[in-house]
Structure 1
Amino acid sequence: MPTEKVSPSAVIAFVFLGLIWGSNFIFVKWAAQDISPLQITLMRVLFGFLPVMAYALLKRELRWAHWRHAHHFVVMSLLATALYYYAFALGTALLPSSVAGVLSGAIPLFTFLGAALFLRGETINGTRIAGVILGFIGVLLIARPWSATGDISLAGVGYMLGGSLCVGLSFVYARRYVSPLGLPVAALTTYQIGFALLFLLAVTPMRGIDALFADTRAWVGLTLGLGLLGTGLAYIAYYFIVESLGAIAASSVTYIPPVVALLIGVVLAGESTDAIALLAIVFILAGVACLQIGGLTRRRASTPTVDPAARVHQ
């Protein structure tokens, strides 16, 4: 049986996605010196929405008939975009960008827990339970609640975990209520980010937001790196990878961002790290690997479904 050739463009998109998701945290860190986390979230969503909408219009996938499902788009816009990005912006503002990036590697753990609790037929076995335990050991090693020095902000860790929880719940909601609709992913992503943009415009104070543009590094990183690339083009690249390589292979891109974030934080931002932080990322990635291995048999037995935005979470 001939082996299917992997498209070079799919490999390039895979590497791009891992690198850009891993760099998101330093962009947030730079912007947080000038504007608030809520303003960062608004700018990210605004500049991420533009390419996604353009892509959906180019593919002609937007339909007025889709609006009868607007209540589902509202829920997804909150869980998988507005609340999630805001929590990550709060957490990253309080933590070293490398630590925030490592903690983002725990997202699949919350996704599995949400699916196991609320979705029928989710495989729960020893391998996957071990994966959850390993992952949360990694989180504890990063948070170090036993430390008397308070080097790591527990509030920051809490915000990062809260954002991860939102993503996990969005996966459950998308799987149960959104995926069965069979709507085009480009359209779903446009509606999701679009509603999030409207909500953020309604609640975000604009005073002082222009301070961002006094710092070239900050505004370029936020608008282009975090918004255009890290949100807009990241969605498009992810779904291209799903179509080219399959959902299982695409999900393995989640291994890359924590490592990239750690390297960027240490090498480019001059953040300090130690053996415990390195051990934490090993535990977290090992936990994610166990979750994937534990669910591989079930995934091979069924056709993978793409849950809009539930898998796109950096």
Structure 2
Amino acid sequence: MIDRDNLFTWPPAVFFWALVCALLWGSAFPMVKTGFVMLDIQHNTGGKLYFAAYRFLLAGLMIFAGVVVSGRSLLLSRHRDYGAMVLTGLLQTTLQYTFFYIGLSNTTGVKASIIIASGSFFLALFSHLWFKDDPISVRKSTGLILGFLGIVLVNIRGSSLDFHMTLTGEGFILLTALSSTLALVVVKKTALRVYPPLMSAYQLVTGAAALFLLALFFESPTVLTFSGPSLVLLLYLSFLSAAAFSLWYLLIKHNRLSSMAVYRFLIPVCAALLSVAIIDSEHLQWPALAALVMVCLGMVLTARE
């Protein structure tokens, strides 16, 4: 009989679940763009923050409902864990998406994707510093470098990459990567005591609440007017967030952070491939396929260790 934990530690299974997460999160890129067009908020920061707040609030409520149906308690065993949930929500949801939306409006998508991809290096480094049983080996470093080069390759388009930097542009995108990395360190430390899907539900709801309050400084909630199709899209985005965060936190609990870092490179590659499939103006180019090969090689190197 297979131990249940093996479903999240056996390398082929880890790759499968990580790929599922990457496909879900990757589909969010074109779907979010579609939602912005539907709601006419392409250039409205407040509207984008409200949209994100509603999405993550619904995602958290979906997970809470699933936890209740499974027969688990919604209460945490230690009071201080509620503080960890709030901290994770602020880092993973509120700060990450605030920095991302503002930063993306002040830089190119190419530079943003490459800077965010550097978050995998931060994750491996922070894990090495905070967890004694998670050293950075030559094999892991090689795998991370291969994955990062793949992301650079899939994003370079002519002269769209330069070294110009601004605080509210590239600086905020870098803070996006850092806030996400710090959130995963908190998750790793807390997952030993708290059921990972329940943890993701708390962080999504608290993060969404903070996003909503922040959006009030930009616009009135009436800036968003939902129709039938946009509501269906919102529900799908909420579902993918609920599923992806729950699976990802389970993987984080059962695996070393430095080993999971390389799997994050799958997300932008899947986003590029799915954007080609969903958005008519996007076209498949050889760098995307080459990047996928390089990311897979990086994952193989990491898994073999």
Fold equivalence (TM over 0.5) = yes
Q: 1:114 aligns with which of 97, 120, 126?
A: 126
Contact 1:27 1:218 in 2 (8 A): no
Q: Distance in 2 between matches of 1:289 and 1:231?
A: 26
Q: 1:165 aligns with which of 178, 182, 189?
A: 178
> Cα 1:267–1:91, aligned 2, differ >3 Å: closer, same or farther?
farther
Per-residue deviation, 1:48: 0.8
What CA RMSD, in Å, does the superposition of the two structures yield over aligned residues? 4.3
Contact 1:119 1:172 in 2 (8 A): no
> Cα 1:164–1:242, aligned 2, differ >3 Å: closer, same or farther?
closer
Alignment-derived partner of residue 275 in structure 1:
286
Contact 2:76 2:82 in 1 (8 A): no
Instruction: Confirm whether residue 55 of structure 1 aligns to residue 66 of structure 2.
Output: yes
> Cα 1:260–1:150, aligned 2, differ >3 Å: closer, same or farther?
closer
Q: Distance in 1 between matches of 2:242 and 2:202?
A: 13
> Cα 1:26–1:276, aligned 2, differ >3 Å: closer, same or farther?
same
TM superposition score normalised by structure 2: 0.70
Q: Per-residue CA shift, 1:44-84, capped at 9, x if unaligned?
A: 21111111121233333222654333222222112222223
Q: 1:70 aligns with which of 75, 82, 93?
A: 82
Q: Per-residue CA shift, 1:2-31, capped at 9, x if unaligned?
A: 888999xx99x9475443222111122123
Q: Distance in 2 between matches of 1:116 and 1:51?
A: 34
Q: Distance in 2 between matches of 1:274 and 1:23?
A: 18
Residue type at the aligned position of 1:56? V
Instruction: Confirm whether residue 81 of structure 1 aligns to residue 93 of structure 2.
Output: yes
Alignment-derived partner of residue 32 in structure 2:
28
Residue type at the aligned position of 1:266? V
Alignment-derived partner of residue 199 in structure 1:
210
**Equivalence map 1:1-314=2 (5 Å):** 14=17, 17-33=21-37, 34-35=40-41, 36=45, 37-58=48-69, 59-63=71-75, 65-89=77-101, 108-142=120-154, 144=156, 148-149=159-160, 161-176=174-189, 178-180=190-192, 182-205=193-216, 207=219, 209-210=221-222, 212-213=224-225, 217-221=229-233, 223-227=234-238, 229-236=239-246, 257-269=267-279, 270-293=281-304, 296=305
TM superposition score normalised by structure 1: 0.68
Q: Distance in 2 between matches of 1:154 and 1:285?
A: 31
Contact 1:17 1:238 in 2 (8 A): yes
> Cα 1:57–1:92, aligned 2, differ >3 Å: closer, same or farther?
farther
SS of corresponding position for 1:207: coil
Q: Which runs of 5+ in 1 are unaligned?
A: 297-314
Contact 2:49 2:98 in 1 (8 A): yes
Give the length in aligned residue pairs.
282
> Cα 1:118–1:22, aligned 2, differ >3 Å: closer, same or farther?
same
